[in-house]
A and B are shown apart, each in its own frame.
Chain A
């Protein structure tokens, strides 16, 4: 797309996109840290995640205020309107992702992962984390380039994460059944899985928004390949 006649309009829009991309980068960093915590049981990193979440929230705030200004002053149309409108939702999604990571960190800080004595489950969680991380990274790259090469793929692969989650859930439930004394150490794992699944959901939401920004059409209307598979707690 060519540039606007008013160049400061371009700057404003770029600030919004850049804000979201920075937020995405921060969230991705947090996810990476979660992965490392799960692998190494590193409490210091968990502290860092909690600290960083404040930064993510601030970024979200600043994106929102920029959106506010641009709506009031520019009355954006078409692609610009889609960028601005989606920015509100995306900042919310990314903020949630940050909150999830914080939640995971809090769970980890409350106990010791090794108490659960289920390295397989932890490995699965690490895998899940890697999947979620890669999904989010793919859509954020798409968003940065304003294309939707991977968004569709990510959106469809959410079901895979959902099944990973289901598998981990079954695994933990089985562990609890086998060893009811370890329930206190296992329940945090349950929460961690749940959080990661939610982050995955947010990644698909971001994918939907990216797709909408780029094409002007809703992914939601498209046919879903998998039935929702959610267990509530």
Chain B
């Protein structure tokens, strides 16, 4: 274990593959949809202030795993989860955990941009209002501005705060959703294929944003684009048929993955 760590430090030069104290620590996570098992004892640690990408073919369970992290799967009646997911050492499936509070710490961005059919301002202010974080009007304006600036959207739409969020372009909508997510100062941001509905320029802007955000937030991103995973993430986890096949430094995953299945997938050999 220590040896492999040292080796990773040597070859990668930037970061160790597995930190001693990951922010998110998943042990033996099994997920069932009714009788169908979707995840098979996934053990995965996610480091703080780092981008971790989850890759794998469709239906491999990466989105399911992502949704376990903010308990979005709770909404599905038939979904049941066993195992342990700890964030900051706290089991998020503990019955004493308040899901609302948990989700205020974990923002989520979806595949399709889904701003509320409200004004841009109200979209960003939604979270702080919902959680009663900010009451003063001036504070709220500051918060909205700050979030939009951080999402790289302020200069483009500062004159359009009262227009409906749905009137923005696709890429702007997605960044609006990111601004909405960071307005509640989460610790973690989950992204479920955030660029799959966007054109390359909008994608590039989002990727640039992810790069900036990782200084402050821990980001977990599901993506179908291997190149994107290679570009934005420090660590990559490969899922297949509900199992975590391989996890490691992104560079290694795309240079010389240890597992043959991973190699087959990243090189485009999966039939």
A–B in direct contact per CB < 8 Å: yes
The answer for the CA separation of A74 and B226 in the assembled complex, in Å, is 12
Known pairs A215-B256, A216-B256; A79 contacts B267 (CB<8 A):
yes
Q: Which of A5, A80, A82, A216 contacts B271 (CB 8 A)?
A: A5
The answer for the CA separation of A78 and B267 in the assembled complex, in Å, is 6
- The reply on A77 being an interface residue by CB < 8 A is yes
The answer for the CA separation of A216 and B267 in the assembled complex, in Å, is 14
- The reply on B97 being an interface residue by CB < 8 A is no
The answer for the CA separation of A56 and B30 in the assembled complex, in Å, is 58
- Point out the residues of chain A lying under 8 angstroms from B271, CB to CB: 2, 5
Contact flags (1/0) for A1-25 with B, using CB distance below 8 Å?
1111110010000000000000000
The answer for the CA separation of A146 and B271 in the assembled complex, in Å, is 22
- Point out the residues of chain A lying under 8 angstroms from B266, CB to CB: 77-78
- Point out the residues of chain B lying under 8 angstroms from A76, CB to CB: 267
- The reply on B257 being an interface residue by CB < 8 A is yes
- The reply on B96 being an interface residue by CB < 8 A is no
The answer for the CA separation of A75 and B228 in the assembled complex, in Å, is 11
The answer for the CA separation of A4 and B270 in the assembled complex, in Å, is 7
- Asked if B227 contacts A3 (CB within 8 A), the reply is no
- Point out the residues of chain A lying under 8 angstroms from B269, CB to CB: 1-5
List the B residue with the shortest CB-CB distance to A80: B267
Query: Which B217-271 residues have a C-beta within 8 angstroms of A?
Result: 226-227, 230, 253-257, 262-264, 266-271
Identify whether the interface residues of A are mostly helix, strand, loop, or mixed: loop
- The reply on A109 being an interface residue by CB < 8 A is no
- Asked if A77 contacts B264 (CB within 8 A), the reply is no
Q: Which of A77, A216, A217 contacts B268 (CB 8 A)?
A: A77
- Asked if B227 contacts A78 (CB within 8 A), the reply is no
- Closest Cβ of chain B: how far from A199's Cβ, in Å? 29
- Point out the residues of chain A lying under 8 angstroms from B257, CB to CB: 78
Contact flags (1/0) for A190-221 with B, using CB distance below 8 Å?
00000000000000000000000001110000
Q: Which of A1, A2, A5, A82 contacts B255 (CB 8 A)?
A: A82
List the A residue with the shortest CB-CB distance to B254: A77
- Point out the residues of chain B lying under 8 angstroms from A75, CB to CB: 226-227
- Closest Cβ of chain A: how far from B7's Cβ, in Å? 10
- Asked if A6 contacts B268 (CB within 8 A), the reply is yes
- Closest Cβ of chain A: how far from B58's Cβ, in Å? 14
The answer for the CA separation of A55 and B75 in the assembled complex, in Å, is 67
Q: Which residues of B contact A (CB under 8 A)?
A: 226-227, 230, 253-257, 262-264, 266-271
Beyond A4-B267, A78-B267, A82-B256, 20 extra complex contacts between A and B, CB < 8 Å:
A1-B263, A2-B264, A2-B269, A2-B271, A3-B269, A4-B268, A74-B268, A75-B227, A76-B267, A77-B230, A77-B267, A78-B253, A78-B254, A78-B256, A78-B263, A78-B266, A79-B263, A80-B268, A81-B254, A82-B255
In the complex, 5 of the A-B residue pairs with CB atoms within 8 angstroms, ordered by the A residue number, are A1-B263, A1-B267, A6-B268, A77-B226, A78-B254
